[in-house]
Structure 1
Amino acid sequence: PSNDLNFGEESFDISESTGLAVAGSLILEWTRLSDMVHKIDYANLTQHAEEYLLHPTYQNATIQPLSGLRGTSIDLRTGDFLDVSGSWGGGDDSFYEYLIKMFVYDPANFTTYKDLWLEAVQSSASNDIFSHPYSRPDLTFLASWDGQDVILVSGHLACFAGGNWILGGLVLGNQTLIDLGQNLADSCATTYNATLTGIGPEAWEWEDENFFENDDEEVDMFIEDNGFNITDASYNLRPEVLESLYYAYRATGDTRYQDLSWKAFRAINATCRTGSGFSSVSNVNAPHGGSFNNFQESYMFAETFKYAYLIQAEDAKVHVAKKGEEQTWVFNTEGHPFKVRAQQ
């Protein structure tokens, strides 16, 4: 798909490339749309586009990412990947997210998606992408990659992966996947505990062999205590940490996750609330979050506050099902519940 639509002129901007998440995040919605209107065209369009992602070709065929992983930029004319760099974070995230969620939506017809998701997870978990900071080996963050090379940077957007891996573990009855997802969820929650406001930053970096040596002794102490260095201290009202805490709670029933979520929600309310709503802030490690950016994201209501509510809410069928139970709903990437195909 092309990225930009102009609804006023009923046209679209013809760009040369698109992104992995852009191309890979329509399939659940458009498949559900086809089911609702009994017209297969919408599902066919997105599943056709998905084939280029499931069976990738690269403009430079001599260099490719690790098994199961993908680049980020795709040529709209050929479907070839233009690069070999990627992550579980922004620009790529919901492609991987939807592989397992399509299997939840319809296990009979999307087994191939589940298999690729498993390949991506296993590849990440068995390589240096699943990385532990030198000064905090108890933590785990998902690094980025450039071909076969691992880059020790991550961010808030990648924190959805903890919940996504837990979901896969619940659906497949695989406790190892649940444990890996919990580790990621716990580690992302630690980024909240580390800051002055109690909110996690947008992006961070770390070392897996020795901690950074900076001219700033205070920064060195922060890294040694917390395992990471903040590279972007803003908070854009993002939901991913609360989302993964919700999945962790559904998988374990451990009230510790409810407490972590409530603590994070209170911090967001105290730091981001304005007279007319909620604003993103410039620095989570500064008093009062630094300054307001005067921008409120719609996903704050659709996801951030929804997951903060759901983790405290009474049990109901719309929830992520617990281990051994049948999933009757699946949440799309913006937190909207879709009834799985077998329940329609």
Structure 2
Amino acid sequence: MKPAISTLMMLFLLGNLISCKAQNKADKEKEIYQERVKTAFKKGWTAYKDYAWGEDAVNPIKKGNHNWYAESLLMTPVDAFSTMYLMGLEEEMTENKELIFSKLDFDKDFEVQQFEIAIRLLGGLLSSYQLDGDPRFLELAKDLGDRMIPVFDTPTGIPYRLVNLRTGEISGNGTNPCEVGSMLLEYGMLSKLTGDPKYYELCKRGVVAMYERRGKTGLLGSWINCDTGEWQDTRAHISGGIDAYYEYLLKGYLLFGDEDLKEMWDVSRKAVDTHLAEETENGYWIGWADMNTGERILSRFGALDCFWNLCYVLDGDTERAEKLQASIYKMWNLYDIEPEAIDYETMQPFEDSKYYMIRPEAIESTYYTWKATGDDQYYEQGKHMFESIEKYCQVENGYVQLSDVTTKEKWDTLESFFFAETMKYCYLFFAPEEVFDFEKYVLNTEAHPFKNTWDEGWKGNKVGLK
């Protein structure tokens, strides 16, 4: 006669069964959400194909389109390609490549904003080359880089903002830190992939020149003269106009191993933590202060500021990351979708900042925090953010921004970062682990993956992520 199974063994087997069922349910949910995010991406892409094919961006409600400049530079197609690749959208990739290689031409007699073109187009082309392998992507990237580097020919090395793509004429001798430093990854990648160091060296010269003019607190101001190096606005913050300068110090170190960048990042982070970060009864926030005195001048935190949390994660500080993430999610939940900026003392949006541009930074922050901690509350937060976009930004034939989060009034435009960033981060919450490996890639500020392919024995980006 066989012995009876013990009660302890029965409980053990039952526990395993429940655990397996729970895991299967979680896996099934992720599979469903994978397809939902892909469907959202394809719906936006269909709107672009139907109403904006060959132009920069689509206006779904009026079934129209718009360009950034006098002619299209294929902003949406180039920005969208790396996300298509990660999602495995073969049909869309094929048609996109055909459009890019048949129409994209940088011999244009008009000025462009160098930094925006660098993070979107130069970054998109370089990443597409690394992911897809087609050398035509790199050829286009080199042509674009060569047309833009005249901006660095200034008395201080701090680049001008604007450049004519045909003539090389530069203008815009007033600039901000973001437009000085947040193309370091792109020019660095161009140098590494072409073997020509000039792109990185010129860009780094501008970054160092900006850093050397930091205030007594270690912070940077908001506006500087490129010719004289004199600050014209000494307000310090991490918002638009400064944000990605700091981001690229850390990411540049992770991608290139440049110890100078690490030193500049360490000094800058300490300055932000000391003079801009503060805890209030409403949470942990990063505000505004004077770059020289450290005097606080504004309790403003917004959508773009959320990037700082991924810096905490990449720098290995999950404790601060979780505190800031709680504030970010609180801001999102004020109206079930985030406004552009709030006063964190009153927890009300500024009158000129009630809109939502389908920005990715809050979702990006949530993803990084989830990957760093493994805490599923952040997975649930990411899922909720995607559902908010589905609920409020979706229209019959695509997705649009919101002009007012309090009323959910629609704003009829869909910019390229919806495809490059927002949908990519939403997808990564639910994608199989093998789709994207943080130990191999650094994402630029437009969420284009860059991979170190030149250092023998390179171990990858393991800072702050499990």
Q: Same fold (TM over 0.5)?
A: yes
Report the residue type matching 1:149 in the other structure. Answer: E
Query: Is residue 2:446 matched to residue 1:334?
Result: yes
Q: Is the 8 A contact 1:65 1:145 kept in 2?
A: no
Query: Is residue 2:328 matched to residue 1:188?
Result: yes
Specify the alignment match of 1:131 in structure 2: 278
In 2, Cα distance between the equivalents of 1:264 and 1:255? 14
Query: Cα deviation per residue 1:106-165 (whole Å; 9 max; x = unaligned)?
Result: 22xx222122222222222234x212333x2xx211101223221211211001111121
Query: Is residue 2:419 matched to residue 1:271?
Result: no
Give SS of 2:203's match. helix
In 1, Cα distance between the equivalents of 2:355 and 2:216? 30
Specify the alignment match of 1:212 in structure 2: none
In 1, Cα distance between the equivalents of 2:237 and 2:169? 28
Q: Is the 8 A contact 2:303 2:359 kept in 1?
A: yes
Pick aligned residue for 1:21 from 140, 163, 178: 178
Specify the alignment match of 1:215 in structure 2: none
Specify the alignment match of 1:203 in structure 2: 341
Question: Aligned-pair distance for 1:27?
Answer: 1.0
In 1, Cα distance between the equivalents of 2:178 and 2:190? 19
Pick aligned residue for 2:314 from 155, 167, 170: 167
- What's the TM-score once normalised by structure 1's chain length? 0.80
Report the residue type matching 2:333 in the other structure. Answer: N
**Over aligned residues, Cα RMSD in angstroms?**
1.9
In 2, Cα distance between the equivalents of 1:143 and 1:86? 9
Unmatched 5+ residue regions in structure 1?
58-63, 170-176, 208-222, 321-326
Aligned residues: 293
Give SS of 1:162's match. helix
Identity across aligned pairs (percent)? 27
Query: Is residue 2:154 matched to residue 1:2?
Result: no
Report the residue type matching 2:234 in the other structure. Answer: V
Specify the alignment match of 2:270 in structure 1: 122
In 1, Cα distance between the equivalents of 2:430 and 2:216? 40
Specify the alignment match of 1:60 in structure 2: none
In 2, Cα distance between the equivalents of 1:271 and 1:337? 29
- What's the TM-score once normalised by structure 2's chain length? 0.60
In 1, Cα distance between the equivalents of 2:437 and 2:330? 25
Alignment of 1:93-132 (within 5 A): 93-107=243-257, 110-127=258-275, 129-132=276-279
Q: Is the 8 A contact 2:161 2:173 kept in 1?
A: no
Q: Say which structure is richer in helix.
A: 2
In 2, Cα distance between the equivalents of 1:66 and 1:185? 25
Q: Is the 8 A contact 2:331 2:338 kept in 1?
A: yes
Give SS of 1:140's match. strand
- Select between 256-265 and 11-20 the one with higher mean Cα deviation: 11-20
Report the residue type matching 1:22 in the other structure. Answer: E
Q: Is the 8 A contact 1:21 1:92 kept in 2?
A: yes
Give SS of 1:39's match. coil
Pick aligned residue for 2:193 from 15, 36, 46: 36
Looking at both structures, which has the greater relative contact order when contacts are Cα pairs under 8 Å and sequence separation is at least 6? 2
Q: Is the 8 A contact 1:65 1:71 kept in 2?
A: no
In 2, Cα distance between the equivalents of 1:262 and 1:12? 46
Question: Aligned-pair distance for 1:242?
Answer: 0.4
Q: Is the 8 A contact 1:33 1:42 kept in 2?
A: yes
In 1, Cα distance between the equivalents of 2:435 and 2:383? 22
In 1, Cα distance between the equivalents of 2:393 and 2:404? 11
Specify the alignment match of 1:142 in structure 2: 286
Question: Aligned-pair distance for 1:233?
Answer: 1.4
Q: Is the 8 A contact 1:317 1:328 kept in 2?
A: no
Question: Aligned-pair distance for 1:40?
Answer: 1.1
